Amino acid sequence: MLGPFKSEHGGLFSRQVFITDLPELLPLLEVNCSSKLNPRLKGRAKALALDWVDESSFPKEIEGCVDVIVCCEILYGNRFVWPGLVRVLERALAVDGEAIFAITLRNARHDVDDFCALAKAGGKLRIAKEEYLSPEVVVVRIQLAEKSH
């Protein structure tokens, strides 16, 4: 699941949160975004359909304006979707935005290293920081390579 957070004032305590997944999972996401289920959201969370491999599914409302994208456990298997994920990051991130990936190392560092190489290959993204939370979990922060206003 890719969870872009659009903030009008910065930080994770944003006015608006977008949670994305495949179109067929949209009904479940809408329930999860419900303020009845999650009173703290108070209508701030919005579920959006987004299929990384289908560029036509990209929601216009997140084009170039997402401050923080949080991605947890999405790099294992299914490498065929990675180029689409990279395109989503390139399109969604705001100029000063950041994508934060939390990754469990399942096959040493192969997935992490291969995805980071792919993300950098197009020249639009850079790896801003990498840190280990434990010997098995790494956090990678990705930003736009150039901050052009």
H or E segment to which residue 132 belongs: strand 125-134
pTM comes to 0.85
Tell me: pLDDT of 128 over 70: yes
The more confident residue out of 124 and 17 is 124
The C-alpha atoms of residue 140 and residue 132 are separated, in whole angstroms, by: 9
Structure tokens at 140: 């990678």
In a domain, 18, yes or no: yes
Give the pLDDT score at 8.
46
Domain that holds residue 74: 2-144
Give the pLDDT score at 1.
42
In a domain, 134, yes or no: yes
Among 48, 62, 51, CA closest to 7:
62
In a domain, 90, yes or no: yes
Q: Mean of the pLDDT values across residues 18-35?
A: 89
The secondary structure of 73-99 as a DSSP string is S--SS-GGGHHHHHHHHHHHEEEEEEE
In a domain, 45, yes or no: yes
Give the pLDDT score at 2.
47
The C-alpha atoms of residue 20 and residue 14 are separated, in whole angstroms, by: 16
Helix (H, G, I), strand (E, B) or coil at 39: helix
Q: For residue 72, what is the domain's CATH number?
A: 3.40.50.150
The C-alpha atoms of residue 40 and residue 61 are separated, in whole angstroms, by: 23
Least confident of 32-46, 65-79, 101-115, 119-133: 32-46
The percent of residues in the chain predicted with pLDDT above 70, rounded, is 88
Q: Centre a 10 Å sphere on the Cβ of residue 136 and count the other Cβ atoms it contains.
A: 10
Count of the separate structural domains present in the chain: 1
In a domain, 26, yes or no: yes
What do you get for the CA distance between the two ends of the chain, in Å?
A: 29
Tell me: pLDDT of 149 over 80: no
pLDDT tens across 72-102, in order? 999 877 899 999 999 999 999 999 999 999 9
In a domain, 149, yes or no: no
In a domain, 127, yes or no: yes
In a domain, 117, yes or no: yes
